[in-house]
């Protein structure tokens, strides 16, 4: 059994090892790395002792290029595995070790108790925001399932319009899911972390309520400079 985990969430959730997982993988970005949106990052892979010798030396990832054609990339590789010729002097492929080092330093600094506290703060603040948003007329949570620090809300007006209007108020309100690979009509993915203060969350709720009550906010996205892109089957929003 392979589990895809989010490292901060493991401060609160049952460890995959206790659920009889054989392999656990995840992204190192949440632990001390930057929000690069496609830039350098690092991942982690853990497995039971008996499977160590069976792990592949390289993994090829599959996606599509800008024209929709299949494209492949070396997602995991041993250092300079593919440039063994005599004149090969580049070691740029090892630079992602810096991201892995950032994760190590971060986890060492916060420790088990700190990781639990960070996860708990993120969870509490996300639920605080979700509970406040549900009180706004027309706004609903898209899914009834439990969540940690991310949830999807649906709004009576276009997510593209709302996101741009909130951006003008210095609020990065979420990601438009209405045009994602698995679309949620009028859906916005919202994430809350320990970095978001109670005052910021209240500002988010107040601003969203004001915008939804503003009749001048159009219901068309024709003049909105927001493009929804799909990268490795994950939707992200780029704002001009």
Least confident residue range of 34-38, 55-59, 208-212? 34-38
Average pLDDT, the chain: 83
Going from the C-alpha of 184 to that of each of 27, 165, 180, 239, the distances in angstroms are 24, 20, 8, 20
pLDDT above 70: percentage of residues in the chain: 81
Q: What value, to the nearest 5°, has the Cα angle with vertex 217 and ends 165 and 125?
A: 45
Whole-number pLDDT of residue 232: 31
Contact indicator for 202, 192 with CB cutoff of 8 Å = no
Q: What is the spatial distance between Cα 163 and Cα 173, in angstroms, rounded to a whole number?
A: 6
Contact indicator for 172, 35 with CB cutoff of 8 Å = no
CB environment 82-117: b (16+ within 10 A), e (fewer) = eeeeeeeeeeeeeeeeebbebbeebbeebeeeebee
Q: What is the per-residue pLDDT across 121-175, written as a single tens digit (0 to 9) for each?
A: 999 999 999 999 999 999 999 999 999 999 999 999 999 999 999 999 999 999 9
Q: What is the per-residue pLDDT across 56-112, written as a single tens digit (0 to 9) for each?
A: 777 888 989 999 999 998 777 665 555 655 665 555 555 677 888 899 999 999 999
Whole-number pLDDT of residue 32: 87
Q: Is the pLDDT of residue 238 over 60?
A: no
Q: Which residues lie across from 23 on neighbouring strands?
A: 2, 47
Report helix angle 198-213 to 159-167, nearest 10: 130
How crowded is residue 176: how many other Cβ atoms within 10 Å of its Cβ?
28
Q: What value, to the nearest 5°, has the Cα angle with vertex 15 and ends 115 and 141?
A: 75
Q: Is the pLDDT of residue 182 over 90?
A: no
Contact indicator for 208, 174 with CB cutoff of 8 Å = no
Domains, the chain, with CATH or none: 2-104 (3.40.640.10), 134-239 (3.90.1150.10)
Question: What is the average pLDDT across 204-219?
Answer: 86
The sign of the CA dihedral 152, 153, 154, 155 is negative
Q: Is the pLDDT of residue 223 over 80?
A: no
Whole-number pLDDT of residue 94: 54
Contact indicator for 185, 178 with CB cutoff of 8 Å = yes
Strands 187-191 and 226-231: unpaired
pTM: 0.75
Whole-number pLDDT of residue 88: 59
Going from the C-alpha of 181 to that of each of 144, 160, 164, 237, the distances in angstroms are 21, 16, 21, 13
Contact indicator for 44, 33 with CB cutoff of 8 Å = no
Confidence band, pLDDT 50/70/90 cuts, at residue 222: very low
Q: Is the pLDDT of residue 230 over 50?
A: no
Whole-number pLDDT of residue 165: 94
Least confident residue range of 49-58, 176-185, 217-226? 217-226
Confidence band, pLDDT 50/70/90 cuts, at residue 34: confident
Q: What is the spatial distance between Cα 78 and Cα 58, in angstroms, rounded to a whole number?
A: 7
């Amino acid at each position: 059994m392979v589990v895809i985990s989010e490292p901060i969430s493991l401060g609160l959730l049952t460890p995959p090892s206790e659920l009889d997982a054989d392999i656990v993988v995840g992204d190192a970005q949440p632990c001390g790395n930057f929000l690069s949106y496609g830039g350098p990052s690092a991942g982690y892979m853990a497995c039971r002792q008996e499977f160590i010798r069976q792990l592949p030396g390289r993994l090829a990832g599959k996606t599509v290029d800008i024209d929709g054609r299949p494209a492949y990339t070396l997602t995991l590789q041993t250092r300079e595995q593919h440039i063994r010729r005599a004149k090969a002097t580049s070691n740029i492929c090892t630079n992602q070790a810096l991201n892995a080092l950032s994760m190590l330093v971060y986890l060492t600094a916060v420790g088990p108790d700190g990781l639990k506290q960070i996860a708990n703060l993120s969870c509490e603040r996300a639920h605080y925001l979700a509970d406040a948003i549900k009180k706004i007329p027309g706004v609903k949570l898209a899914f009834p399932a439990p969540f940690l620090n991310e949830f999807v809300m649906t709004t009576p007006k276009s997510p593209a319009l709302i996101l741009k209007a909130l951006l003008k108020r210095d609020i990065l309100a979420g990601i438009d899911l209405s045009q994602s690979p698995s679309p949620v009509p009028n859906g916005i993915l919202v994430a809350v972390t320990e970095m978001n203060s109670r005052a910021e969350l209240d500002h988010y709720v107040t601003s969203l309520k004001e915008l939804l009550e503003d009749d001048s906010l159009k219901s068309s996205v024709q003049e909105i400079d927001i493009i929804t892109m799909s990268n490795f089957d994950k939707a992200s929003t780029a704002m001009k």
